[in-house]
Each structure stands twice: as C-alpha cells, then as structure tokens.
Amino acid sequence: MRLLGLGCALLAILREQRTRALEPGVATPRAGLMVEGAVRLVGGSGPHEGRVEVYHAGEWGSVCDDQWDERDAAVVCRQLGLPGRVRAWTWARFGEGAGPVWVDEGGCTGNELALSECERAPWGQHDCSHREDAGVSCDPHSEGAVRLVGGSGPHEGRVEVYHAGEWGSVCDDQWDERDAAVVCRQLGLPGTALVSRELEFGPGSGFILLDEVACGGWESALRQCGHSEWGRHDCSHLEDAGVVCKGGPETQPPALGPPVRLVEGEGWREGRVEVLVAGEWGTVCDDGWSDKDAAVVCTQLGLPGPARALGMAFFGEGSGPIHLDNVKCSGWERALGQCAHLASHEHNCRHSEDAGVVCGEHAEPARLGDHPGDAAAQLAGPLSELCGRRLANHRRKRIVGGTKSLRGGWPWQASVWVRAGPHTESRLLCGATLISSCWLLTAAHCFKRLGTGGAFYTVRVGDHHRLVRDRAERELRVERIVVHERYSPTQHVHDIALLRVSTLHTGPDGAEGSGGPVGGTCVPFSDAVRPACLPSRREHLSRRHHLCFITGWGDTGRSYARTLQEARVSVLPGRLCRLRYGGRFEGGRMVCARGSRPPTPTDTPRDASDNSRVGGQWGRQQTMQHGGGGGGEGAGDSCQGDSGGPLSCQESLRGADAPPGGGGGGGRWVVAAVTSWGHGCGERDSPGVYTRVSRYIAWIHRVTAIQSLQ
C-alpha cells in the first residue's frame, strides 16, 4: 500500500508540473514540486515551444544540441503532455540559457516517456556553449486539421487547413456540398453542410494550401479527398472556400459527450477509436479497454450487435493527441463520454496502445474471391479446388514499402516462432507457407542456429496482428522438420525446408488442443486459413504475366510490424540477377525480384550468415503525396522476419476462363518461391533472392505425399 501511495504521489507531482507548464506566463513551477529529470520550455511564443531545460541537482539547466533531432523532441513533448507535430531546433533558436548545460550527446529512440530515459553523456559533462542550446516546438495541431475562421460561431466560416506547420485557405475551384460535408464531419458538426456565398467570411491573408478539392462526401477528413499538390494553385484569396454546418452546436440537443469515429478499419463497422475534443480528433488508450467499452462506442455510432474491443494499435497508430485513458464503461451508457475516464490528455500511453473496436463482428461475412460458389461448399472441396483462394476485397492501405494486408487476405501465410523458455519470451523467427493441412514450406536457413528439433519451435496460422490473438489464429506444435539434403548454408542453394505440424495447440481462448490430428487433419481450413497451391514443375515466372506479392511481419525500420504486410514485386530476368550477384545466383533454382519502383537506398546490412537477419528489413520509403491525394507506389523488398515466407504469384487465366479485356489474372495463387537471401534491404540494384519452388516439386511430393495441390 505504501508503494501505491508513493506512485500516486509521484503521478500527482508530474500532473501538477504538466498543468503548470501549460499555463501561459508561468515560466517555472513551484520549486517544491520539482522532481529530478523534469523538463520545461523557456523563451518561446507560448507554452508549446521554447528552449529545453532540465531539472537536476536542484537547478535548471539547458541541453546541448549535439545530435539533437526530432526523436529527442518527441520525447520532450510527450513528457510535457503536449500532443501534435514536433520539431527540433538547434543553435539557441529560443535564446541562450544562463545556467549549467546539463545534457549533451542525447540519443533518444523517440519511444521513451521522459528525456531522462534516453542515452546521454553523464550529467554536466559536455563540450558546448549556450549558443548550442537545444529547443523544441510541440505543435498542438495535427497534419490536415481544419478550422473555420471569420464566422459568427464555430459552425461556420472560411475553411483553413493545417499543413507543414502552417494554416492556409482552400481555393473554391470545384468546391461543393460534398467537400463541405467532409469539413463539417471532421469538425464533429452534424447536420446539413452548405457552401457559403462568395467571400461571405472574408478573404484570408496567408498561404493558399489546397486547390481542386474533390471529395466523395464519405471521407472523415479533408486530407483524404482528392486535391492538387499542397501549395500548388491558380487562385487568389478572393476565391477562398467557406462552409456553414447547419445544425451546428447552438441548435443541437444536449450532447452526451464528444463525437467518436472509427478509422483505418476494413469496413465502416470497425477501426481505431477517435474522439473529438477541442476541435481535434485524438485516440483512446487501451489501458483497461474491454468489450463493454467497445459496446458503448458501437451504441453511440448506432451500430448494433456484438462488439469486440481490440488494443495494441490493431488498426494502426494514430498521429494526433491521446484524449482518453483508463476508460471504464458499464456497458449501458449511450456515449463514451458518459463513462468514467481520466481527464483529457492525462495518460501514460503511446500510440502503440491505441484502442479499436469491431461492431457487429459477424454482420458482414467474408466473401471468397477468384471463383464463384458457396463459401462453405468450397471449404469442403478437395485441396486442388481449395488451394490458392483469397478473400475478395480490393481495399488497400499505404504503409512502409508496401501495404497493410487485409485480415485473411493471405490465408496460407504462417510464421515460425522460437518457443518461450523459463526466462525468455517466444520470438518470431521466420515466415512459412501452409501447403496442406499438416505441412508448411519455409527456408532451410531458419534452422541453422537451433537445429531441426521440433521441440524448439511452434507455428502460427491465421495470424494477422502478431501481438493480439486473432479469432482465426491457431498455434501448432512442430512434429518434424525436413531440411533439403543438399542445402548449403555457405552458398545458399537448396534453401528450402518442410515442417510437419501435429496437434492443435491453442485457439483464440488459449485452451490446449486435444492430443493429435484427427482423421489426418492437423489444421481445419476456414476463410482465413487455407493452403497455397504448388506451382507446376514447368512453371516459368514472367514479369509480364504474373502478379506477385511478398508477405510477412518484417522490420519497418523501427521495429517488427505488428500486422501482416504485403508488397507487390516484379520478377526480374535471370541475366540481371546474375549481373548483380555473379555465380552465387543459380537461375535454375533461384529467382530474384524487387519492388515495382526502385526503392530508397538504406544503410541496413543484410547478413546472410545469421538466420534471424537473412532478408533484412522492409524497404523504407518516403511516400510523397501528389495531385489527387494519392501517393507514389512504395517499393517492396523481403525483410527481416520474412525469411522463409512466400513469394505468392497469381496464375493467369487463359481462353474462356480469362476475364473480359484480356490481360490474364484472376487465377489461383501459387507459392512460387521462398524468401532466401540478398544484400541490404530495399537497396537499389540489390533485389531479394528466393528459392524457386517449381524445382522442388518432386522432393515435396516425396517427403509429404501431397499430390493434389497443383
């Protein structure tokens, strides 16, 4: 109880510091409330920016700007409870300090909760002067925020949008009620949206940031609409757009709490929960998040049926403030605002803990694609008819080097994990491909370090978010591992292996399975778990006729991706691969591929001698927004954690089976290759190298006795 009391007291002190720091004109909180490592901002135009000062040994001192960057600034803003875009400043941007220089050579990763948690030189040890004092700006506005200016109330005015740290107006070219409706929705103002009369709210005076806006009317934010490139226009401020949100706050019935919305889901019934507070959308922390809380969110949105709570940023991380934490609903409330929770902005969370919900989870059953027919009947058919079939859904989301996969979008994707020990947690080792109920295909190099004893490993199928137990997810024991007898770990040839799984180990409730395969079945198939087809022995991959993707949970540059990633790749001619890799590339047994566009070079090495590193990490991209609101295609590369995973290609349909208009496509998906090796990650002229599966069909049949997956 005493420890709990001390923790509460410390939390109260930190909250008091945060509150005082946010008060305009208050430069220094009361000395009696200072704790070691506290930070403050001094000399800025407001409480959101200034010279960084740290409290140590009873005295405030500055921070040297050596190696100071946005990651350090993000930690300072988080410690002060200031959300939004961050910027690091050097060379005493906010004036020179007068006390000691306490911190030098700071090295934050960006995920710490306080500056004192970051690596640094010992307190007071530095080679700096106050001309090098570091500063930060904690921008309170998120990218793409909107506001209404010049009206009689918050429900009307000239539209201004926030981009790259500046507010600017929107040109009225093609501006109509659909665009106005999106603005009102983003501001949480329900009712009818009207386009204002010309210059009804006066001309702006700053930047004109958007032109040619073309919303469909369903978007949740103006930045999601099509538009010209930011800042590019042919307008004057005489053409500034405005809106009137009829049924604004002065005519609305008493609110039950702040508006909520769901974003980044695969449909309108699911997504990350965001709440509108003080005109800005922010997320909810998943501390204590339960199905009762999810039910209230669904009730508020008018979505009946069972509700499921999801945490750990299941639908991706938000980028704005975190508005709510420790939400405690009874389940009967009509709105999230009626539930108990910490006050807005009082939290100890990161966006990796953003809460999500699924409303009426079974209301929209999944639909199988590629071939017509009843889903249940298809699941009961022979393997040759069942394999290589995906869910029909063409929605895509942009993410590092590729896209976030849909749940169940790659039902043959599996992963190999090193089992947890007495003092260690289980860890992701490699990708794998389900090719029958009991057999999976992967890379031989995955087992160099720990060997081929099945007791060391488990296999997961039906997984999407690797930190959240999915409904379709199963964990399986490994009964047998067969590495190709001619595998060479030094030359990387014959880099292929087979895994035989046995009993169902755990399901979504974590319960143990029952002994062993029943009737020869190890994994029951569903729309989210099914095998890939094997290619024919004469399969010839061509860039022209095959649609190919790589999939896995590879490193995004910060950490392993939480959700399954996909990236489209192009198979390259063998002569280009030999030109790059020389004699190490054996065209008959290997294939190389790279993203649709040349990837951005990185400095990350790819060590082919380390089974946990082969394949590197997902190629990092800078995705630039162009006209129409779209972005350039991200180049993909197989990455760390994806070794042994599939390169899946769709067979081309010919003749009467081909879709109208020609061009092939529409056929089954085959596991054309297994991720093996390469140099670097996503580096220009360094494509990934894969083991060609078609050369090993006879070996696969001999080991597994599978004859019906082609």
Interior CA angle at 332 toward 330 and 337, to 5°?
A: 75
**Using one digit for the tens of pLDDT, what is the confidence trace for 285-341?**
999 999 999 999 998 887 877 899 999 888 888 888 899 999 999 888 888 988 988
Q: Flag whether pLDDT at 1 surpasses 90.
A: no
- How would you classify the pairing of strands 646-652 and 590-595? unpaired
Q: Give the C-alpha separation, 620 to 14, whole Å.
A: 37
HSE toward the beta carbon, residue 458, CA cutoff 13 A: 17
Q: Flag whether pLDDT at 696 surpasses 90.
A: yes
Minimum mean pLDDT range among 87-91, 273-277, 430-434, 705-709: 705-709
3-state secondary structure of 489: coil
Q: How far is CA 664 from CA 55, 259, 445, 567, 709, in A?
A: 66, 47, 35, 20, 21
Q: Flag whether pLDDT at 17 surpasses 50.
A: no
How much is the pLDDT for 651?
Answer: 81
> Which is more confidently placed, 111 or 572?
572
Positive or negative, the CA dihedral 73, 78, 80, 86 is positive
Minimum mean pLDDT range among 79-93, 398-412, 587-601, 631-645: 631-645
Stretch 571-592: mean pLDDT: 88
Stretch 523-532: mean pLDDT: 90
N residues, the chain: 710
Q: Which of 639, 463, 622 is nearest to 550 (CA)?
A: 639
HSE toward the beta carbon, residue 462, CA cutoff 13 A: 21
Stretch 137-161: mean pLDDT: 86
Q: What letter does residue 118 receive in the DSSP assignment?
A: S
Q: Flag whether pLDDT at 649 surpasses 80.
A: yes
Q: Give the C-alpha separation, 156 to 399, whole Å.
A: 35
Q: Are 672 and 535 in contact (CB under 8 A)?
A: yes
Minimum mean pLDDT range among 92-96, 303-307, 483-487, 639-643: 639-643
How much is the pLDDT for 67?
Answer: 83
Q: Flag whether pLDDT at 619 surpasses 70.
A: no
Contacts of 516 (CB under 8 A, 6+ apart): 502, 503
Interior CA angle at 36 toward 34 and 37, to 5°?
A: 105
Minimum mean pLDDT range among 5-19, 129-143, 197-211, 554-568: 5-19
Q: How many CB atoms are located within 10 Å of the residue 215 CB? A: 24
**The token pair that represents 61 in the structure block:** 């001192």
Q: Flag whether pLDDT at 655 surpasses 60.
A: no
**Using one digit for the tens of pLDDT, what is the confidence trace for 486-509?**
998 887 899 999 999 985 544 544
How much is the pLDDT for 493?
Answer: 92
DSSP letter string over 342-363?
A: PPTT-----GGGB-EEEESTTS
How much is the pLDDT for 185?
Answer: 83
Minimum mean pLDDT range among 122-131, 207-216, 506-515, 700-709: 506-515
How much is the pLDDT for 161?
Answer: 93
How much is the pLDDT for 328?
Answer: 93
Q: Flag whether pLDDT at 452 surpasses 80.
A: yes
How much is the pLDDT for 144?
Answer: 84
Q: What letter does residue 599 receive in the DSSP assignment?
A: P
How much is the pLDDT for 707?
Answer: 58
Expressed in angstroms, the distance from the first to the final Cα of the chain is 65
Please state, for a pLDDT cut of 70, what percent of the chain lies above it. Answer: 73
Three-class HEC string of 40-102: EEEECCCCCEEEEEEEECCEEEEEECCCCCHHHHHHHHHHHCCCCCEEEECCCCCCCCCCCEE
Q: Which of 195, 197, 206 is nearest to 233 (CA)?
A: 206
Q: Domains in the chain and their CATH numbers?
A: 2-138 (3.10.250.10), 146-245 (3.10.250.10), 260-359 (3.10.250.10), 383-624+632-704 (2.40.10.10)
Stretch 150-163: mean pLDDT: 90
How much is the pLDDT for 153?
Answer: 85
Q: Report CA 250 to chain centroid distance, whole Å.
A: 38
Mean model confidence pLDDT for the chain: 76
**Using one digit for the tens of pLDDT, what is the confidence trace for 510-521?**
444 433 443 357
The angle that helices 70-80 and 2-22 make with each other, rounded to 10 degrees, is 110
Residue 595's pLDDT band (cuts 50, 70, 90):
confident
How much is the pLDDT for 209?
Answer: 94
Residue 383's pLDDT band (cuts 50, 70, 90):
low
Q: Are 459 and 529 in contact (CB under 8 A)?
A: no
Q: Report CA 338 to chain centroid distance, whole Å.
A: 30
Minimum mean pLDDT range among 57-61, 360-364, 456-460, 686-690: 360-364
How much is the pLDDT for 382?
Answer: 58
Q: Token pair 């030999």 is at which residue?
A: 578
How much is the pLDDT for 624?
Answer: 23
**The token pair that represents 60 in the structure block:** 């405030």
3-state secondary structure of 285: strand
Helix-, strand-, coil-residue percentages of the chain, each rounded to 5: 15, 30, 55
Positive or negative, the CA dihedral 390, 392, 397, 402 is positive
> Which is more confidently placed, 198 or 238?
238
Please state, for a pLDDT cut of 90, what percent of the chain lies above it. Answer: 30
Residue 158's pLDDT band (cuts 50, 70, 90):
very high
Minimum mean pLDDT range among 209-223, 282-296, 545-559: 545-559
How much is the pLDDT for 165?
Answer: 74
How much is the pLDDT for 512?
Answer: 42
How much is the pLDDT for 19?
Answer: 39
Stretch 123-133: mean pLDDT: 89
- pTM for the model stands at 0.53
How much is the pLDDT for 709?
Answer: 56
How much is the pLDDT for 503?
Answer: 57
3-state secondary structure of 155: coil
How much is the pLDDT for 606?
Answer: 31
Q: Give the C-alpha separation, 292 to 283, whole Å.
A: 18
Minimum mean pLDDT range among 81-90, 114-123, 413-422, 584-593: 81-90
Q: Where are the beta strands (DSSP E) in 139-236?
A: 146-150, 156-163, 166-170, 193-195, 207-210
Q: Give the C-alpha separation, 181 to 361, whole Å.
A: 28
Q: Token pair 């995955």 is at which residue?
A: 446
**The token pair that represents 238 in the structure block:** 């005489």
Contacts of 696 (CB under 8 A, 6+ apart): 484, 494, 496
Q: Report CA 600 to chain centroid distance, whole Å.
A: 19
Stretch 173-191: mean pLDDT: 86
Q: Flag whether pLDDT at 435 surpasses 70.
A: yes
Q: Flag whether pLDDT at 252 surpasses 80.
A: no
How much is the pLDDT for 613?
Answer: 28
Q: Flag whether pLDDT at 249 surpasses 80.
A: no
Q: Give the C-alpha separation, 224 to 203, whole Å.
A: 25
Where in the sequence numbering do the catalytic residues fall? 445, 495, 643
